[in-house]
A and B are shown apart, each in its own frame.
Chain A
Amino acid sequence: MQKPDQNPQGILIEGLKKRYGQGETAVDALKGVHMQVAAGEVVGLVGPSGSGKSTLLKCLGAVIEPTAGRMYLNGKRIYDDGWLVDDLRALRRDRIGFVFQAPYLIPFLDVLDNVALPRMLAGEPNPQARSEAMNLLKALDIQHRAQAMPSQLSGGEQQRVAIARGLVNHPPVVLADEPTAPLDSARAMMVMRILQQMARDYQAAIIVVTHDEKIIPTFRRIYHIRDGITVEEAGEGRPLD
């Protein structure tokens, strides 16, 4: 296992455990997860229902705290004694990007403000936040829909906007939860291309949780999770073109 100071960029997880409940009813959802994703890399996380996938995602997303283990983000230890909810909130805002199965865009904000929102929440003035959001929309070739409302977009466009929102703060880690599930093959491949391009361009470590057989062959590395333990496998790394 690499030491964190040897890999300062990306995400490193060592012996992550999560127990729900106490005593005889306690359930060990994660039993010692080891994982490492370098900056600029996209890895897959696959596993059957009940394997601990969602719990791992919530721990990675700083939504719940693990029972034991360590997590490093760009070399900085994230889980430690003394973390407060407010710190986790700031962590989610500034250092973790989220892309969901459904886009979950804010329906009362237009595309530009949906993307700019995380930067605005971080206290950046609206013009600068919008300017950065527009750059991302351009990178994702959806700048022409900047003033549209989410309800006016197609499913593929909504997912691209959601990806832009997840990346707008240039987080070192992006968690994508089944981002291609509702999409057809062509659109799923397009989303994967975008994620890989964004990982390269923004040096983000992207973890894609998926069941989607269409995209699993595109990963170079895949983590399988079973009964709360991860096993790393080499992927096919099939080209996306």
Chain B
Amino acid sequence: MISLAGRDILHAWGKFLFTGLGLGLLIGVTLSMAGVYRGMVEDGRALIQASGADLWVVQQDTLGPFAEPSGLRDDLWRNIAALEGVAAAANVTYMTLQIHSDRHESRVMLVGLTPGDNRLPGWPRFLLAGRHISRGHYEAVADIASGFHLGETLKIKRHHYTVVGLTRRMVSPSGDPMVFIPLKDAQEAQFQKDNDSIIRQRHRTAANPVLSDSRVQTAVNALLNNQQQVNAVLVRLQPGAQRTRIAEHIRRWQRLQVYDNQQMERILVGKLIATAARQIGLFLVILSLVSATIVAFIIYTLTMDKIREIAVLKLIGTRNRTIAGMILQQALALGIIGFVIGKIAATFAAPHFPKYVVLLPRDSITGLLAVLCICALASLVAIRMALKVDPAEALGG
């Protein structure tokens, strides 16, 4: 038996191709949305892996430097580094802000690192160009996604920084590219107040009768302008060290919160990206419904156009299942055409997204199966209508 669906598609290939193109663009958007979500998860994982840390020490009762504000004294790392089983501990600060050069402006996550030893946790693992930060001030390493170039001068708060190195795939959980600068500079950028605020604060202190002694005022102002804070201490353990025991020790004796990489990943994916994931999920549902409606409408219209032919087919003895099969095959073919176009569109569009888009083969297979299911369901209306066609319609009268 010849394929009636195949012959019809070949006969009206333009109609199928253009309908498939429209459907394909919708599927492309759907795949891209899924890719954006995967990219967010991947960014979170890359952030944790690239840090080179085994443990993340943060302020007690907080979810760490990305999900909640965390403040620690910047000398705590010494106590942690001295623990048995700890290979290295390093302060780190994180702050999202808008920075610019003469040429370009970008929203970035500013990361403060202890300069001098690029093997410490928190440092970018590899560079695409240039070198690591080697001076204590005013040098920066930027993720290439920030758009900054090697040698470019960045203005961050009050100071200027020279980009000495470029790295890649170092982004925040929200997709902002990272710019690494020396810790002291980052602390200043994060905690230092502007001159007017400092003057107003001094006036308030001077006006307080309890603090009438000038030495007390000096001490209070110094405390209020304290910049000796970091957001987290990243800890690398020695091979074979007992992670749980060390984490528990820090929790108990340093009165701090400690997360390992798995816990950090759960925080990033489960809490930080959860809202975005729900939003993307809802978009996927809406796009699926729109796709189903389009396929149903197109297949219904194509079937309506063939009512007389269907009546003739039934009159000359075609089985209902042959006719239903023809419509189902056409719907599935439309879905496959749409999926191929959508997959190609999503693949070519992915590099142009501002966020990292990951198109996993697993997602593509799931997407294809979903498209085929949607098309099969969407064809039911047309099949129902075709099965209702009376063969007597071919005879007229």
Interface of A toward B, CB cutoff 8 Å: 53-55, 57-58, 61, 63-64, 89-90, 92-94, 98, 100-101, 104, 106-109, 113, 117-118, 120-123, 126, 149, 165, 177
Contact = CB atoms under 8 A, between A and B. Distances in A.
Interface in B45-62: none
Contact of A101 (B1, B10, B396): B396
B261 interface: no
Nearest to B309: A106
A121 B316 contact: yes
Contact of A63 (B1, B2, B309, B395): B395
Interface string B384-397: 00000011101111
B8 interface: yes
Enumerate the 4 nearest inter-chain pairs by beta-carbon distance, A residue then B residue, closest first: A93-B317, A54-B397, A108-B11, A108-B8
A61 B392 CA distance: 9
Contacts of B317: 89-90, 92-94, 118, 121-122
Contacts, number: 81
Interface in B304-363: 308-309, 312-319, 322
A123 B317 CA distance: 11
A66 to B, nearest CB: 14
Contacts of A113: 2, 7
A93 B391 CA distance: 12
B12 A108 contact: yes
Contact of A98 (B10, B308, B394): B394
A61 B316 contact: no
Which of A57, A106, A113, A118 counts the most chain B CB atoms within 10 A? A106
B309 A104 contact: yes
A98 B316 contact: yes
A98 B2 contact: no
Given A58-B397, A101-B396, A113-B2, A108 B316 contact: no
A106 B314 CA distance: 12
A121 B316 CA distance: 9
B395 A100 contact: yes
B397 A57 contact: yes
